[in-house]
């Protein structure tokens, strides 16, 4: 049962400026199926206001050794200073016996990583951990027993990709572990094409969600994100959950502490100080972080955190705007830069907060029945008018016309939202 708590507001306007990142995918058909993981990832980021410049160099069935023998690979790497480069090995090879992987895979993974860092030492390298075939690799089962089942093949892929990341100070994007989570918990979702190998649309979307989780740190809810056609909200929600679980549950194993990451999320500024903070999610290990807001600068190091906690492996700053601001109606310009090992990542966000007339309003003064049950916002009497529902970041999620005594909000996940109706805004929490 969902419980919805409401707090009255007067007005809201929020504009966020995107952060821009660049990423190069080097891989094969597992990367380019269904229009490409890179394209789907770009669309997810764009739906959240972030600009991701993507490029893919893909060749069907290609191995790392093939890319190392192809001059175009290195031309693509040298074409710009990439924020990220993704490496995806041929789908079967990393699951083969360790001695074979050591000679046919690892040396070429190192050659690619060395080339990437020679181009730009601050590029973050991501290994795309793929998935086991639906019923194992039957063509090679007789030669190596772990390949006879999906679980055996997935475990070998896991071991090999983690080893490659360890050897090259890189990060594993655990798509294969998100895949296993879906198979174990939601077997009704088909992640495979009919060949039992390549990804279905659901599979490619799951991969993109996992990359999104690694790059941007927060698992966006399906109701305000990019949703491919033919995927229903319930399925998308499960895919999001699987991607978050795979990243959060395998943080250390996948070398996430090698990431250099910063993300800013702003709550609404209120005079009462109820949510007068912006949250900065930062990578676990970093030398220092400089936070600047409307001309005032704070510097944080590993020995000093302000309102910090761990969430999904990330450090999380609570940057209280009251430290910077004296007014409730203001343009907030906030930038955070993380430094480590001579490299840095900067993210900036600007939001106009216009929340005035905030008072301590008791729930009995609200025009809603409270608590609300069965996912409905229920009015004390019939209401007629246009309504809009926003995320706490100010993104429009839903709109419509109401003529009656309730609005269906059962599609919303737990969290805080804003309802605007007939010129008045109400903040509500789905618990």
CATH number of the domain that residue 281 is part of: 2.60.40
Q: What pLDDT was estimated at residue 77?
A: 98
- Cβ distance 392 to 7 under 8 Å? no
Within 8 A by CB and 6+ apart from 209, the residues are 44, 178, 219, 239, 240, 242, 243
Verify that 341 and 376 share a domain, yes or no.
no
CATH code of the domain covering residue 376: 2.60.40.3080
Q: What is the 3-state secondary structure (H, E, C) of 326-348?
A: CCCCEEEEEEEEEEECCEEEEEE
Q: What pLDDT was estimated at residue 373?
A: 60
Verify that 158 and 232 share a domain, yes or no.
yes
Length of the chain (residues): 431
Residue 130 pLDDT grade (very low, low, confident, very high; cuts 50, 70, 90) = very high
Mean pLDDT across 279-283:
63
Q: What pLDDT was estimated at residue 166?
A: 96
Mean pLDDT across 23-46:
95
Answer whether residue 307 shows pLDDT above 50.
Answer: no
If you average pLDDT over each of 142-146, 263-267, 353-357, 389-393, which comes out highest?
Answer: 142-146
Answer whether residue 352 shows pLDDT above 90.
Answer: no
Residue 6 lies in a domain: no
Residue 71 lies in a domain: yes
Residue 301 lies in a domain: yes
Mean pLDDT across 256-273:
57
Answer whether residue 5 shows pLDDT above 80.
Answer: no
Verify that 252 and 266 share a domain, yes or no.
no
Tens of pLDDT along 58-73?
999 999 999 999 999 9
The better pLDDT of the pair 71, 267 is held by: 71
Is the overall model pTM greater than 0.85, yes or no?
Answer: no
Verify that 240 and 134 share a domain, yes or no.
yes
Residue 14 lies in a domain: no
Mean pLDDT across 371-400:
73
Alpha helices in 48-105 (DSSP H): 64-68, 71-77, 98-104
3-class secondary structure, 417: strand
Residue 10 lies in a domain: no
Q: What pLDDT was estimated at residue 67?
A: 98
Residue 3 lies in a domain: no
Tens of pLDDT along 101-114?
999 999 999 999 99
Verify that 390 and 413 share a domain, yes or no.
yes
Tens of pLDDT along 187-218?
999 999 999 999 999 999 999 999 998 887 75
Within 8 A by CB and 6+ apart from 97, the residues are 144
Calpha distance 45→52 (Å, rounded):
7
Of 1-5, 257-261, 410-414, the range with the lowest mean pLDDT is 1-5
HSE, CB side, 13 Å, CA atoms: give it for residue 40.
22
The better pLDDT of the pair 200, 339 is held by: 200
Verify that 241 and 198 share a domain, yes or no.
yes
Q: Which of 353, 370, 385 is the last residue of a domain?
A: 353
Give the number of other Cβ atoms within 10 Å of residue 296's Cβ: 10
Q: Give residue for tokens 């793929």.
A: 130
Domain enclosing residue 321, as ranges: 262-353
Burial string for 382-393 (b: 16+ CB within 10 Å, else e) reads: ebeeebebbbbb
| Closest-CA residue to 150 (of 161, 142, 141, 162) | 141
Within 8 A by CB and 6+ apart from 242, the residues are 178, 179, 181, 182, 185, 186, 206, 209
Answer whether residue 305 shows pLDDT above 60.
Answer: no
The better pLDDT of the pair 44, 329 is held by: 44
Phi-psi group of 166: left, alpha or beta (phi > 0 → left; psi -120 to 50 → alpha; rest → beta): alpha
| Closest-CA residue to 119 (of 152, 155, 81) | 81
**CA torsion, points 272, 273, 278, 283, in degrees to nearest 10?**
-160
Average pLDDT score, the chain? 79
Domain count, the chain: 3
Q: What pLDDT was estimated at residue 264?
A: 66
Verify that 271 and 401 share a domain, yes or no.
no
Residue 145 lies in a domain: yes
Calpha distance 409→138 (Å, rounded):
47
* DSSP category for residue 117: H
Calpha distance 412→421 (Å, rounded):
18
Q: Which of 208, 227, 258 is the last residue of a domain?
A: 258
HSE, CB side, 13 Å, CA atoms: give it for residue 102.
3
Mean pLDDT across 235-252:
89
Residue 399 lies in a domain: yes
Which tokens in the block code for residue 10? 């007067």
Burial string for 96-121 (b: 16+ CB within 10 Å, else e) reads: beeeebeebbbebbebbbebbbebbe
Verify that 107 and 228 share a domain, yes or no.
yes
If you average pLDDT over each of 48-52, 55-59, 223-227, 323-327, which comes out highest?
Answer: 55-59
| Closest-CA residue to 87 (of 1, 192, 211) | 211
To the nearest whole percent, how much of the chain has pLDDT over 90? 44
Q: Give residue for tokens 């050794």.
A: 65
Q: What pLDDT was estimated at residue 412?
A: 79
Of 62-76, 355-369, 412-426, the range with the lowest mean pLDDT is 355-369
Verify that 164 and 287 share a domain, yes or no.
no
Of 200-204, 237-241, 347-351, 360-364, the range with the lowest mean pLDDT is 360-364
Verify that 279 and 220 share a domain, yes or no.
no
Answer whether residue 233 shows pLDDT above 50.
Answer: yes
Answer whether residue 231 shows pLDDT above 90.
Answer: no
Verify that 68 and 206 share a domain, yes or no.
yes
Q: Is the dihedral of CA 121, 122, 127, 128 positive or negative?
A: negative
Q: What pLDDT was estimated at residue 378?
A: 77
Q: Which of 258, 273, 297 is the last residue of a domain?
A: 258
Calpha distance 257→338 (Å, rounded):
13
Of 269-273, 346-350, 382-386, 416-420, the range with the lowest mean pLDDT is 269-273
Q: What is the 3-state secondary structure (H, E, C) of 146-196?
A: HHHCHHHHHHHHHHHHHHHHHHHCCEEECHHHHHHHHHHHCCCCCCECCCC
Verify that 208 and 304 share a domain, yes or no.
no
Answer whether residue 403 shows pLDDT above 80.
Answer: yes
């Amino acid at each position: 049962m969902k419980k919805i708590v409401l707090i009255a507001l007067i007005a809201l306007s929020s504009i966020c400026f995107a952060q821009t990142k660049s990423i190069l995918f080097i891989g094969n058909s597992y990367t380019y199926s269904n229009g490409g993981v890179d394209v789907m990832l770009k669309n997810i980021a764009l739906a959240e206001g972030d600009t991701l410049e993507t490029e893919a160099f893909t060749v069907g069935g290609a191995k790392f050794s093939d890319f190392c023998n192809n001059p175009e690979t290195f031309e693509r790497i040298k074409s710009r200073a990439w924020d990220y480069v993704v490496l995806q090995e041929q789908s079967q090879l990393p699951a083969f016996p360790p001695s074979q992987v050591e000679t046919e895979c690892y040396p070429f993974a190192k050659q690619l990583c060395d080339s990437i860092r020679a181009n730009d030492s601050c590029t973050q390298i991501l290994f795309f951990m793929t998935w086991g075939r639906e019923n194992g690799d039957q063509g090679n089962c007789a030669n190596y027993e772990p390949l006879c089942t999906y679980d055996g093949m997935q475990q070998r892929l896991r071991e090999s990709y983690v080893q490659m990341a360890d050897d090259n100070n890189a990060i594993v994007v655990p798509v294969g572990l998100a895949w296993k989570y879906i198979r174990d918990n939601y077997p009704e979702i088909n992640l495979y094409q009919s060949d039992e190998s390549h990804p279905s649309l659901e599979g490619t979307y799951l991969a993109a969600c996992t990359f999104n989780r690694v790059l941007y740190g927060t698992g966006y809810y399906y109701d305000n994100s990019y949703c491919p056609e033919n995927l229903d909200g319930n399925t998308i929600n499960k895919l999001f959950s699987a991607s978050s679980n795979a990243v959060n549950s395998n943080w250390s194993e996948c070398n996430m502490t090698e990431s250099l990451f910063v993300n800013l999320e702003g709550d609404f500024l209120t005079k009462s100080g109820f949510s007068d903070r912006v949250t900065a999610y930062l990578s676990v290990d970093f030398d220092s972080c400089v936070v600047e807001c409307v001309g005032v600068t704070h510097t944080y190091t590993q020995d000093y955190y302000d309102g910090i906690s761990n969430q999904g492996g990330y450090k999380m700053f609570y940057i209280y705007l009251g430290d910077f601001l004296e007014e409730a109606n203001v343009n907030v310009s906030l930038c955070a830069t993380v430094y480590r090992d001579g490299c840095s990542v900067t993210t900036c966000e600007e939001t106009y907060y216009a929340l005035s007339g905030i008072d301590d309003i008791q729930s009995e003064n609200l025009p809603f029945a409270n608590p609300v049950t069965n996912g409905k916002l229920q009015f004390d009497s019939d209401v007629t008018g246009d309504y809009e529902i926003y995320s706490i970041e100010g993104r429009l999620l839903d709109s419509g016309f109401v003529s009656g005594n309730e609005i269906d909000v059962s599609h919303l996940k737990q969290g805080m939202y804003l309802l605007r109706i007939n010129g008045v805004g109400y903040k509500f929490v789905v618990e």
